[in-house]
Amino acid sequence: MDNKRVAVMDLGTNTFHLLIAEGPADNFTTIFKATEAVKLGEGGINKGIIQPAAFARGLAAMQYFQDQLLEHRVADVKAIATSAIRSAANGQDFIDQVAEKTGIQIELISGDQEAGYIYRGIDASGCLTDDNALIMDIGGGSVEFIIANNDEVLWKQSIEIGAARLMDKFHQTDPIPVASIKELTRYLDGKLTELFAAALKYKPTTLVGSSGAFESFAEVIELKRGRKFNLDQTKVYEFDTDDLLDLIELLIKSTHALRASIKGIIPVRVDMVVVASLLTIYMMQKLGLTDVTLSTYSLKEGVLAQMLTTLQ
């Protein structure tokens, strides 16, 4: 049969992603990719409402995506909404308006389904081995934690401690004060007890960071070394632990102006990267994980793998 073009939309709290691809699930060809910084959680994520300006940005992004679907003659579309739309009082209203204006039907998934798709995407990148790894996907609204190997998922949980939520709670002053870091650490201690119990049981040896802030970490490190770094041509990247720790320390102490001047950090991530850095160092220290890997594949690649497998 002909290769059918499929499109996946990952409608997150900070960014809406569109991926159009065709071919076999394990070796697909990307036809078109777009990332729109909608900041859906801005001004209201912890209040549980999408504010009017963010709502309008979201609709505009979806109309742009719809134009791309028509232009690239896509056969099948899956639009997946996660934490911000899931937890917003007017999330359903957003879904209804998108359907009315673009014809795109948004599917609202649970945190558990989200973690399942993320595992599938990470597995498709080829970075998992026989050894157990802790996968951490830091979104704007939620963070998915998955303990898995290349064979199976052993444990998974989605927790509403995404970067936009943590920033709203703890990062109001720049640079982030030491007192806020201590508060954030205590907050995480309380939120992650089940994860620590699972880690004791399954003993992950590697931390796999899925896309997001980890892409920024890798890009900054490589550009600082004077090397070219193409995210689109990278599935997996293994961090040098010292480089990563140095960068995290720099980011935690940095001002907004300094972060904005660092090549490799996209604008939507300039502020969120601080709490993402704190969350990363927290996990490394708590679980004694010194091997850290980036997988640029995540939720949308997991959804895509499922769609392409169904087509074959």
Exposed e or buried b for every residue in 63-101, given b needs 16+ CB within 10 A? eebbebbeeeebeebbbbbbbbbbbbebbeebbeebeee
pLDDT bin (cut points 50, 70, 90) of residue 3 is low
7 membership: H or E segment, kind and range:
strand 6-11
> Quick one: tokens of 247?
């960068």
State residue 275's pLDDT score.
Answer: 97
Pairwise CA distance, residues 79 & 127, whole Å = 26
Q: Tally Cβ neighbours within 10 Å of residue 52.
A: 11
Tell me how far the alpha carbon of residue 274 is from its chain's centroid.
Answer: 15
> Is pLDDT at 190 greater than 50 in this prediction?
yes
Task: Find the mean pLDDT for residues 70-94.
Answer: 92
State residue 6's pLDDT score.
Answer: 95
> Is pLDDT at 80 greater than 90 in this prediction?
yes
State residue 68's pLDDT score.
Answer: 97
State residue 48's pLDDT score.
Answer: 86
Task: Find the mean pLDDT for residues 186-201.
Answer: 98
Do residues 189 and 174 touch, judged by C-beta distance below 8 A? no
Task: Find the mean pLDDT for residues 259-281.
Answer: 95
Task: Find the mean pLDDT for residues 222-242.
Answer: 93
Pairwise CA distance, residues 298 & 258, whole Å = 29
State residue 1's pLDDT score.
Answer: 38
Task: Find the mean pLDDT for residues 18-35.
Answer: 90
State residue 309's pLDDT score.
Answer: 85
Task: Find the mean pLDDT for residues 249-269.
Answer: 95
Task: Find the mean pLDDT for residues 23-43.
Answer: 88
> Is pLDDT at 2 greater than 70 in this prediction?
no
Q: What is the pTM (predicted TM-score) of this model?
A: 0.92
State residue 162's pLDDT score.
Answer: 93
pLDDT bin (cut points 50, 70, 90) of residue 192 is very high
The percent of residues above 90 in pLDDT, for the chain, comes to 81
Task: Find the mean pLDDT for residues 263-282.
Answer: 95
Q: For the ranges 20-24, 26-30, 119-123, 204-208, which has the lowest average pLDDT?
A: 26-30
Do residues 286 and 196 touch, judged by C-beta distance below 8 A? yes
User: Could you tell me which CATH class the domain 6-109 is placed in?
Assistant: alpha beta
State residue 264's pLDDT score.
Answer: 93
Where along the chain do its domains lie? 6-109, 124-299
Mean pLDDT estimate for the chain = 93
Angle between helices 212-224 and 272-287 (to 10 degrees): 90
Burial class (CB in 10 A: 0-12, 13-18, 19+), 305: buried
Cα angle, residue 55 at apex, residues 51 and 59 outer, rounded to 5°:
175
> Is pLDDT at 244 greater than 50 in this prediction?
yes
> Is pLDDT at 260 greater than 70 in this prediction?
yes
Extended beta strands in 139-233, E state: 143-148, 153-159, 206-210
User: Could you tell me which CATH class the domain 124-299 is placed in?
Assistant: alpha beta
